[in-house]
Chains A and B, each alone.
Chain A
Amino acid sequence: MTVATTDRSLPKFAEVAGGGLLDRRLFLKQGALFGLATLVAQTAGAEAGQRPAWMRVPGAPLSNYGQPSPNEAEVIRWVAANPDAPGNGISWTPLHRLAGTITPSGLHFERHHNGVPQIDPALHQLLIHGLVERPLIFGLPQLHRYPMISRQCFIECGGNSNAGWHEEPMQAVAGNLHGLVSCSEWTGIPVRMLLEEAGIKAAAGWVIAEGADAAAMNVSIPLAKLLDDGILALFQNGEKLRPENGYPMRLVLPGYEGVLNVKWLRRLQLAAQPLMARNETAKYTELQPDGKARQFTFVMEAKSVVTHPSPGYRLEGAGYYQISGLAWSGRGKIVTVEVSADGGHSWAPSELQEPVLSKSFTRFRVPWQWNGQPCVIKSRAVDDTGYRQPERRILVAERGRNGYFHYNAIVAWAVDADGGLHHVYA
């Protein structure tokens, strides 16, 4: 695989940090000069002036639902499930093969506890009950008449990146290490509106949310979160939710651990106390070295990962490349992502793609002139609360290695002399 074009005839640029990192706005300031040179270099090898085969026959007919190019057949989710229970598992978003900030709906990561239910939307209803004045039932025809909002945000599984707890760095492509996170535009109804219609009793502090899957998956959510920015989502990236993302309705809780964004939502029960469900006690809790476990760790802390280049890619040789990656924080906006190309000895600021949205993917990029020598690439994010993505040794010193969930340490990719990349702890 090739990550970017190279052109060794280019002039040398001034480094802003070790390992060949360049000014993040170098090419933005200089305009199209560099891009043009690259383009010429790329096309010089083609048979100039010849019409290719696809310009000599009529193209394919129109289609009812567009599909990716057959040439992109490798851009798929990687599935890891229990062979004895194929609906109980995960599939990873191929972050290393995507650009921008929106995850295509068909590539959104999955975590199902007992498969994807095949729900008849005409029969699916939502019950709101418990500590409310008026228990209410809603069907989809009614919900589609409600005032809706749209919001872009990431959803990340609490178990994302958990190979980082391993003693030795696992060798896998970036998406298979960090791809239990995806980012979509969600459209739906503020949950607050529905809860207030039911009439929230003063004693309510939690909401038990339950899905209509075979696991009837349930969790306890602080009422304050649902009132703050919870969405009953009906649409994802403009179309109805995909079945594997909760069709016909799911909770979206921006910045909160994925399991709380209950898919196939069928019931919201207001309560004074949490339920202590299996997935908030036995699972999705993080055992610490002292034997105590962190529980109700809802917020996904700031994380970043370089997606280009990353393991699986092979650099073509010394010269120019763009380092690019994703950063996100469950607490708010990403304010800076710094990149190092010398294993963390020096750092350069990256350019953040605007608009930077709260609790959403932020794409960062920085130009890089690789000298052809082995080096280590890292990125570290800071959010608008001042939280800084930690080095692995600090996270492990604080949490031990048996927490399983909520691993968000700085990621390091080693570049070998032959241009290959692999995962390292550095």
Chain B
Amino acid sequence: MCMRDGAGASLRRIVAVALLSAAVPMMAVAAPNLGRPAMPEEVARWDLSVFPDGQGLPQGRGSVADGAAIYREHCVSCHGAGGRGASAEELAGASHRLTDPSPDKTIGSYWPYATTLFDYVRRSMPLNAPASLDDNQVYAVTAYLLHLNGILPEGSEIGRDSLPRVVMPNRQGFIAVDGGR
């Protein structure tokens, strides 16, 4: 039933494919073709991905100050004051380097991309009410967490254009093993 195995294809099958192709344009392979086309607005609603180059980031912005307030309300109970960790992991305040026997893997010491913060907070956090923060609030929390890690100054803000430009301290800290490109 696979029509990609050209070596064994009979003339009759080739003719059948040609006829099928003529009748249904764009059909590249032999398969049931039961999916329905996704409309661009559907894809936009469905798509949560944020890439390191900023692709997928929504319009919006948020400040370190606003992020601090949101953190106190939604994050501190699990991640602790100043991101020092509680029932959930520490996010800031690394005191041991990555080469130490007991390294601290915080956002500032370990995470290679700042865009990951937006992608992760928007899709997964807070754990007890995911998707409850709007995009500006996610930008604000992102800004605050970058500030806690000494990457953004107090009084600053972050948005769609500036977030992908943040260079994380451990940007060069990873070696791709099976997925190198």
Docked-complex contact A299 and B178, CB < 8 angstroms = yes
Would you call B8 an interface residue if the criterion is a C-beta within 8 Å of the partner chain's C-beta atoms?
no
CB <8 Å contact, B49 and A285:
no
Q: Does the CB pair A296–B176 fall under 8 Å?
A: yes
How far, in angstroms, from A208 to B34 measured CA to CA in the complex?
Answer: 22
Q: How far is the CB of A126 from chain B (nearest CB, A)?
A: 8
Residue of A nearest to B86 (CB): A84
Chain A residue numbers with a CB within 8 Å of B120 are 277-278
Bound-complex Cα distance A194 to B50 (A): 24
User: Given that A216-B124, A282-B111 are known contacts, is A295 also in contact with B175, CB under 8 Å in the complex?
Assistant: yes
A-binding residues in B (CB < 8 A)? 1, 26, 28-29, 31-38, 42-43, 46-53, 78, 87-88, 97-99, 101-103, 105, 107, 110-113, 115-116, 119-120, 123-124, 127-128, 130, 173-181
Q: For A206, what are the chain B residues with a Cβ–Cβ distance below 8 Å?
A: 179
CB distance from B175 to the nearest CB of A (A): 5
Assuming the A-B contacts A137-B42, A278-B116, are A289 and B99 also in contact, with contact meaning beta carbons closer than 8 angstroms in the complex?
Answer: yes
Asked if A14 CB lies within 8 Å of chain B CBs, one says no
The 9 closest A-B pairs by CB, nearest first: A296-B179, A136-B35, A135-B38, A142-B34, A216-B123, A278-B120, A291-B98, A295-B174, A298-B178
In the complex, besides A114-B130, A281-B116, 14 extra interface pairs with C-beta distance below 8 angstroms are: A84-B88, A127-B43, A133-B26, A136-B35, A142-B32, A145-B32, A147-B1, A199-B28, A215-B124, A215-B130, A222-B179, A275-B119, A278-B124, A281-B113
Contacts A85-B87, A127-B38, A129-B43; A273 near B51 (Cβ below 8 A): yes
Contact, CB under 8 Å: B35 / A198: yes
B149 shortest CB reach to chain A, Å: 13
A383 to chain B, nearest CB (A): 16
Are A291 and B99 interface neighbours, CB within 8 A? yes
Chain B, Cβ-Cβ closest to A125: B46
A88 CB-CB contact with B under 8 Å: yes
Bound complex: CA A297 to CA B176 (Å): 7
* CA gap between A293 and B87 in the complex, in Å: 25
In contact, A134 and B37 (Cβ under 8 angstroms): yes
Given the contacts A216-B48, A296-B177, A197 and B33 also touching, CB distance less than 8 Å: yes
A402 lies within 8 A of chain B by Cβ: yes
> CA–CA, A335 to B87, complex, Å?
44
State the majority secondary structure of interface residues on B.
loop
In A230-273, the 8 Å CB interface with B consists of 266-267, 269, 271, 273
Q: Is A362 an interface residue (CB 8 A)?
A: no
Q: Are A282 and B178 in contact (CB under 8 A)?
A: no
Given the contacts A218-B48, A276-B116, A277-B119, A292 and B34 also touching, CB distance less than 8 Å: no
Q: Which A residues touch B130, using CB under 8 A?
A: 114, 214-216
User: Can you list 21 contacts pairing A with B, beta carbon distance less than 8 Å?
Assistant: A83-B87, A85-B127, A135-B37, A138-B34, A197-B29, A197-B33, A214-B124, A266-B46, A275-B49, A275-B52, A276-B52, A276-B116, A277-B120, A278-B116, A289-B99, A291-B97, A291-B98, A292-B173, A295-B174, A295-B175, A295-B177
A82 touching B43 in the complex, CB below 8 Å, given contacts A199-B28, A282-B105, A294-B177: no
A220 at the interface (CB under 8 A from B): yes
Say yes or no: A271-B51 contact (C-beta < 8 A), given A142-B35, A285-B174.
yes
Contacts of B105 in A (CB 8 A): 282, 287
The residues of A that contact B119 with a CB separation of less than 8 Å are 218, 275, 277-278
Give the residue name and chain of the A residue nearest to B52 (CB). Answer: A276
Give per-residue flags for A352-395: 1 if the beta carbon is below 8 A from chain B beta carbons, else 0: 00000000000000000000000000000000000000000000
